[in-house]
Structure 1
Amino acid sequence: MPSFDTDVPVLLLRLDPNPFHHGTLGAVRSLGRAGIEVHAAVVSARGPVGRSRFLHRSYDIPAGPVADDTLLELLLDISDRIGRPAALIPMDDRGAIAAARLAGRLLGRFLLPAQPAGLPERVADKAELARLCRELDLPHPETAIPGSAEQAAEAAVELGLPAVAKWSRPWLLTPSAGLRSTTLVRTPDDARRLYELTDRAGSALLLQRRLPGGPDTDWFFHGCFTHGGRCLIGGSGRKERAWPLRTGLTAVGRWLPNPEVERAALRLAGHLGYRGILDLDFRRDTEGRYHLLDFNPRPGAQFRLFTDPSGLDVVRALHLDLTGRTVPGPRSSPGRLFRAENYALLSAVAAAFSEWPPAGPLTVRAGRPGVERAWFAADDPLPFLAMTGSWLRSGARKGAHRMRGAAPAVPQPARPAPAHRLGAPQQP
């Protein structure tokens, strides 16, 4: 195991209210097992993550949007309680963007990667990402930004139905808005109605040409970078199962080398001078090109998949880098499997009813590295037990709510603006 500066604690920051975010638990366990004192500022401080024996202390973050000044006060108060400078690792896009904006006012309290101004917000913005891919000639789905409801309907038809609709800045969505970050629009009227909710969403609506999914089409890259966009540790993986099916988060993933995905990730990070942790999502089209779909400027939920035999992963590499320690060269361990137990179960059950012939069980071949489980750990069992109980109760409540039926949302018209189109770049 690398030599860590255990005098420097870590504060994990997550502003998203989801209590079942297994990536936060993975960071708590990874850093805690290395002897580092781990604190967490989360909306659901009493959730399953708070039960981990590797978490030193948790702090409540108010639910809903948090203004920068309010978050600054909270972080400074937490810093006072910790009593010494700590590394700050955001675990969601909102947290990463806010931390970058506040970085200059947190000097002396928290250690953060030195990023170009506004970079996390730029790469997390779906419209900016499309422009960035065009600049670098990286494959990206053809994208339109309509300026009116009629233009949205026309763009959906031109791109081909069904089309994918995304909100440019999904971290601005609130639960009260009743909107999803990504939606499949099947008719022009779907696109028209969705555009009319622009004011409620808080950011622009994007329409993209849909890339059909299927076996071996969904890939991701996780990495940690230092000065000049140099990669400290990273790897590509394939999404074996998702929840919801075909379009959701990684329920089961496997570490598999993919030179095209890795080259695209390294080229992008180097061009941006990116420093810190990132999570990229790709989809392969019918011509074999890998299109960049999402850029998340923080650890992905399944980051523990990319753990080398010495235990090095992206959060450990970042702590070493921020504390001035040498980050040893990583040793690749392809073949490892990641399984988020709750979502993998849902995915397997749903697939059994929707796929024919049904997909076979996912196994680890003899001689290959083993399985990284999101929740269960023999040395830290309480989060798994708490997740199971909370997840079942939450599922029962949601099921009852859906049976009762929710009141339909009332669209709020938005002021038309000129539309512009972002062309689909070609394979480098």
Structure 2
Amino acid sequence: MHAFANHVPAVVLRLDRNPFHHGTLGAVRSLGRKGVEVHAVVEAGGGPVVRSRYLRAVHAGPAGGVDPEAPEALLECLTGVSERIGRPAVLIAMDDLSAIAVSRIAPALRERFRIPHQPDNLPARVADKAELSRLCSRWDVPHPETVVPASGAEAAEAAWRLGPPVVAKWSRPWLLPAGADGLRSTTLVRTPAEARRLYERSAEAGSRLLLQRFLPAGPDTDWFFHGAFARGGRPLLAGSGRKELSWPVRTGLTAVGRWLPDPAVEEAALRLAERLGYQGILDLDFRRDERGVFRLVDFNPRPGAQFRLFADAAGLDVVRATYLDLTGQQVPQPSGGPGRVFVAENYALLAAVRGGSLPRGRAAGPARTAPARTAAAGGASPAVRPGAGRGRVETAWFAADDPGPFVAMLAALVGRGAGKGARALRGVPAQGRRTARAVVRAPRQREQPPPGGAASRPAPPEAPSEPDELVTR
């Protein structure tokens, strides 16, 4: 068995305000189970993760939040954390904002932390939706057809030509002002007028608006890729998987996922990482279109929340692989894994109640064999082949050796539900309380095409019923 030297502490950093981020807990447990001294810098009170027995200490993040364009507050915070720990530590960013901010202050951190070498502000570049579209076009990675309009009129014309509906994204969602009414990172736009109005809020949003062709969700359409890479984009551990349940339903984060090798997904992801010279952990989201082409829709320069799905028979995952790489240790060749299932208990329950169905223990479709990577192409493939992992379920919250976070999650979930129920009852008159009924609205009249744009284009079918916000994590 591979000897795991655990002499270097680890700091898990999360700046977003999501106390139910199970990926943070996964990172704490993954390293803590190997005897690593794990610290966490978290916002929003920490959430259930602070109850983990594998967490040595919790450190408060910057009190006023972090501006990714000027992250001096984060530098001051991490300097204080380093001084309290007393020796260099591996730093693992768990959300996009953290990864982008750390990359901007990396030169000032290198004496205190071991972090991936990502030059030229790489995390911000790949997380930028407009830049990602350009990189995909440059390196022949399939991507949804995308337009970056330069005016409200261009936005309206693009919305008509691409759809409707079309997917509207802000190029740099981490710059969106907190609490801005109607400004979401991703929105489904159903009319040219909506696209025009959204474009007119570009200054408020802080970045450019993108309009993408809508790719309908359905069985076997949503896939993801997780990988850990050494310098130069050399893969250490990688795998592709399929989203089987999501929350919100059809468009949200992974509630249930399965590790299934797919050649097209893996080849596109490995090529992109190699061309970028990417070091560290990444999480990519793909959607399969009606022709069976996997199109990259999101690039996250950090671990995905379900990264523990991709743990081999010995427990090696992308966080452990990166820890080994950054501490100068050899990363063992992975073995076993595909067929494993990941379940985020709270989201899986919500998704099942809202019309989904929990998958059975076997794969719903055939697992496809990924192509081997030859030495000339960059070494043996890090994607693990079918073996000992088949059929094993990895839960996000429950762990027999670490029950505290699961209990805390349940208590918070029940408390939140009770609070919402009480507020709803207070808002209903005492007389005449009744069960809410679904309201069926007549379809809206389709707008005419914008002047001078696609006048001869036949009217597309009515927009499918999808939530206004599309979350692809």
Choose 1 or 2 for highest CA Rg: 2
Would the aligned equivalents of 1:17 and 1:63 in 2 still touch at CA under 8 Å?
no
TM-score by length of 2: 0.81
| Equivalence map 1:121-140=2 (5 Å) | 121-140=124-143
| Equivalence map 1:245-260=2 (5 Å) | 245-260=249-264
Matched, 1:175 2:197: no
CA shift at 1:117, angstroms?
Answer: 1.8
**Alignment CA distance shift 1:174-1:235 (3 Å):** same
CA shift at 1:6, angstroms?
Answer: 1.6
1:117 is aligned to 120
1:421 is aligned to none
| Equivalence map 1:12-411=2 (5 Å) | 12-61=12-61, 62=63, 64-66=65-67, 67-178=70-181, 179-351=183-355, 359=357, 361-365=358-362, 368-397=390-419
Distance (Å, rounded) in 2 between the aligned partners of 1:14 and 1:380: 21
**Deviation by residue 1:268-295 (Cα, 9 ceiling, x = unmatched):** 0110110100000001111111100001
**Alignment CA distance shift 1:55-1:174 (3 Å):** farther
What code does the residue aligned with 1:373 have? T
**Deviation by residue 1:42-98 (Cα, 9 ceiling, x = unmatched):** 103441011100000011113544441111000000000011000000000010011
**Alignment CA distance shift 1:262-1:375 (3 Å):** same
Q: Which has the higher helix share?
A: 1
What code does the residue aligned with 2:152 have? A
Would the aligned equivalents of 1:221 and 1:265 in 2 still touch at CA under 8 Å?
yes
Q: In angstroms, what is the RMSD of aligned CA positions?
A: 1.8
SS at match of 2:336: coil
> Which stretch has the larger CA shift, 376-385 or 166-175?
166-175
**Deviation by residue 1:364-423 (Cα, 9 ceiling, x = unmatched):** 149933110000111111101111121233345556778969xxxxxxxxxxxxxxxxxx
TM-score by length of 1: 0.89
**Deviation by residue 1:190-242 (Cα, 9 ceiling, x = unmatched):** 21222222222211111100011110011000000002211100100000011
SS at match of 2:179: helix
Distance (Å, rounded) in 1 between the aligned partners of 2:212 and 2:404: 42
Distance (Å, rounded) in 1 between the aligned partners of 2:153 and 2:144: 21
Q: Say how many residue pairs are matched.
A: 398
What code does the residue aligned with 2:360 have? T
**Alignment CA distance shift 1:203-1:400 (3 Å):** farther
Would the aligned equivalents of 1:3 and 1:325 in 2 still touch at CA under 8 Å?
no
Q: Which runs of 5 or more residues in structure 2 are unaligned?
A: 364-387, 429-473
Q: Which runs of 5 or more residues in structure 1 are unaligned?
A: 353-358, 406-428
Give the structure, 1 or 2, with the largest relative contact order (CA under 8 Å, sep 6 or more). 1
**Alignment CA distance shift 1:4-1:117 (3 Å):** farther
CA shift at 1:260, angstroms?
Answer: 0.7
> Which stretch has the larger CA shift, 388-397 or 142-151?
388-397
> Which stretch has the larger CA shift, 66-75 or 389-398?
389-398
**Deviation by residue 1:157-209 (Cα, 9 ceiling, x = unmatched):** 11110100111111222432242211101112221222222222211111100
**Deviation by residue 1:332-357 (Cα, 9 ceiling, x = unmatched):** 311100000111011111115xxxxx
What code does the residue aligned with 2:112 have? R
Distance (Å, rounded) in 2 between the aligned partners of 1:379 and 1:289: 42
CA shift at 1:7, angstroms?
Answer: 1.6
Would the aligned equivalents of 2:66 and 2:74 in 1 still touch at CA under 8 Å?
no
Distance (Å, rounded) in 2 between the aligned partners of 1:64 and 1:186: 34
Would the aligned equivalents of 2:233 and 2:276 in 1 still touch at CA under 8 Å?
yes
Distance (Å, rounded) in 1 between the aligned partners of 2:271 and 2:335: 21
